[in-house]
A and B are shown apart, each in its own frame.
Chain A
Amino acid sequence: MNEGEDIIICRCEEVSRNTIEDAIEQGCDTLDSIKRRTRAGMGLCQGRTCQRLIAGLLRNKTGKPLEELKPPNFRPPFRPISLGLLAQEGYRLRREDELRDGGK
């Protein structure tokens, strides 16, 4: 791979290698801070594709070993889930409360 060529690292948010390296040069020295500054890792795949590449860039630029590079917080949902499906439980909880209040 050519050294000077800019390539897309975060495919979902279309964040290039140069953008990420600029962020590192401006002080972003963790995976989390790079994500916040550049949006790399905020897309549809939530960093599954780019995170290890960014860790490599960070290691190359700062010398920090990979084991020290903590990933951003892990959060549900594990896979995308439609709000309509997720809402079913919410409706049930609300109905419970309404029955309780209505019976006051």
Chain B
Amino acid sequence: MGLRIKYHPILGEDLRKDMISIEVDGRAIPAYEGEPIAAALIASDIKTLRKTKRIGEPRSLFCARGVCTDCVMTVNGTPNIRTCITPVEKDMKIEKQEGLGNWGEEPK
């Protein structure tokens, strides 16, 4: 929880109380429903979100505003989901994306 801002000089106090559980690479982590997936992951010290296709370089947040696509992960079986702008939902399954990711038979 170290990186979460509990008191913001403009937004004030973080009054959110109830956390849900989401699954990241088989591991359960706490998250606030509706917050960006990447926020929940970084709060749980998960910084590597994917590895690149060509040289396998680890990537994390970069622009953090939905433009650069560095933060994409596979969410509920669908690859290339920008985790910095996609809100957490109950029972979400998130996987670190290796390269292009796994594209299942029946995409969402």
Question: Which A positions have Cβ atoms within 8 angstroms of B?
Answer: 8, 11-14, 43-45, 48-49, 80
Contact indicator per residue, chain B 61-97, by CB within 8 Å of chain A (1) or not (0): 0110001111010000000100000000000000000
Q: Are B69 and A12 in contact (CB under 8 A)?
A: yes
Q: Report how many residues on chain B are interfacial, defined by Cβ distance under 8 Å.
A: 14
Query: Are B80 and A11 in touch, CB under 8 angstroms?
Result: no
B4 within 8 A of A: no
Complex Cα distance, B82 from A12, in Å, reads 13
Main SS of the interface on chain B? loop
Residues in B with CB closer than 8 Å to A14 are 52-55, 57
Task: Please report the C-alpha to C-alpha distance between residue A26 and residue B106 in the assembled complex, in whole angstroms.
Answer: 45
Beyond the given A11-B62, A11-B68, please list 15 additional residue pairs across the A-B interface where CB-CB is below 8 A: A8-B57, A11-B70, A12-B68, A12-B69, A14-B52, A14-B53, A14-B54, A43-B69, A44-B72, A45-B67, A45-B68, A45-B69, A49-B63, A49-B67, A80-B80
